[in-house]
Amino acid sequence: MLKILDRYIIKTFFGPFFFIFSVLFFIFIVNIIWVQLGQFMGKGLSYWQIIKLLFYLGVSVISMVLPLTILLASIMSFGEFGERYELAAMKAAGISLTRVMMPLLGVTVILSILLYFFSNNIIPDFQRKARNMLFNIAQTKPALNFTPGQFIDQIPGYMVKFDKLYGENAENIEGVFVHRKASTYENQQTILAEKGKFVPAANKKFLKLVLYNGYVFEDDFAGKGENARLKQPDQAIKFDTLTSHFDISEIISRAIEQEQITDDYRFQSYSQLNETIAKTKKENIKSIDNVTGDVLNQTNSVITYMDKNKSKAAPKAQLKLDTVKSEKKLEILYNAYNRLDNLKTTADNKVNDIAPNVKYFSKVIIYQQRIVTYSFTCIIFFLIGASLGSIIRKGGMGLPVIIAIVIFIIFYVINVGIENVAWAGKINPYLAAWIPNMILFPFGVWMTYKALTDSQLFDAEKYKALFKPITKRFSRNKEHQRYQ
Confidence of residue 2 (pLDDT cuts 50, 70, 90): low
* Same domain? 275 vs 362: yes
The domain boundary residue, chosen from 252, 284, 316: 252
When the pLDDT of each residue in the chain is averaged and rounded to a whole number, the result is 78
Q: Give the domain range for residue 246.
A: 158-252
- Which one has a higher pLDDT value, 260 or 201? 201
Taking the CA atoms of residue 352, residue 354, residue 357 and residue 363 in that order, the dihedral angle to the nearest 10 degrees is -70
Residue 319 covered by a domain: yes
Burial of 201 (0-12, 13-18, 19+ CB in 10 A): middle
pLDDT digits (tens, 9 = 90+) for 404-443: 888 888 998 999 899 889 888 888 999 999 999 999 999 9
What is the pLDDT at residue 436?
92
* Helix (H), strand (E) at residue 68: helix 62-83
Per-residue pLDDT, 327: 65
Residues 195, 275, single domain; the answer is no
Predicted structure pTM score: 0.66
Cα angle 433, 68, 119; round to 5:
55
DSSP calls for 277-314: HHHHHHHHHHHHHHHHHHHHHHHHHHHHHHHHTS-SSS
Residue 26 domain-assigned (yes or no): no
Q: Following CA atoms 433, 437, 442, 448 in sequence, which dihedral angle do they give, to the nearest 10 degrees?
A: -170
Are 277 and 204 part of one and the same domain?
no
Give yes or no for residue 122 having a pLDDT over 70: yes
Is 355 a member of any domain?
yes
- pLDDT band of residue 225 (cuts 50, 70, 90) is low
Distances (CA, A) of 59 to 126, 128, 269: 7, 12, 15
Residue 21 has pLDDT above 60, yes or no: yes
Residues 287, 242, single domain; the answer is no
Domain edge (last residue) among 252, 280, 313: 252
- Residues 226 and 307 both lie in one domain: no
Using N-to-C axis directions, what is the helix angle for 62-83 and 97-117, rounded to 10°?
A: 170
Between 189-198, 277-286, 308-317, 407-416, the lowest mean confidence (pLDDT) is in 308-317
User: Do the domain assignments include residue 377?
Assistant: no
pLDDT at 109: 94
Tell whether 202 is covered by a domain.
Answer: yes
* 235 in any annotated domain: yes
CA-wise closest residue to 118 among 73, 64, 168 = 64
Give me the pLDDT at residue 116, please: 94
Q: Give every strand in the sheet of 158-166, ordered side by side.
A: 158-166, 172-180, 189-199, 206-218, 235-247
Q: Quick one: 289 and 336 in the same domain?
A: yes
pLDDT for the residue 260 = 67
**Residue 219 shares a structural domain with residue 284:** no
What is the total count of domains within the chain?
A: 2
Q: Quick one: how far is CA 458 from the chain centroid?
A: 37
Same domain, 293 and 327: yes
What is the pLDDT averaged over residues 297-325? 54
**Among candidate residues 366, 388, 414, the one where a domain is terminated:** 366
User: Sorting pLDDT into bands at 50, 70 and 90, what band is 59?
Assistant: confident
Domain identity same for 226 and 281: no
* List of residues 6+ apart from 399 with CB closer than 8 A: 392
Could you read off the pLDDT of 184-219 as tens digits, one per residue?
A: 667 778 889 999 988 887 777 788 889 999 988 887
Highest mean pLDDT among 108-117, 163-172, 176-185: 108-117
216 and 275 assigned to the same domain: no
**Same domain, yes or no: 295 and 247:** no
Residues 6+ apart with CB under 8 A from 336: 302, 305, 306
Residue 32 inside a domain? The answer is: no
Q: Is residue 402 part of a domain?
A: no
Quick one: 295 and 331 in the same domain? yes
Pairing mode, if any, of strands 189-199 and 158-166? Answer: unpaired
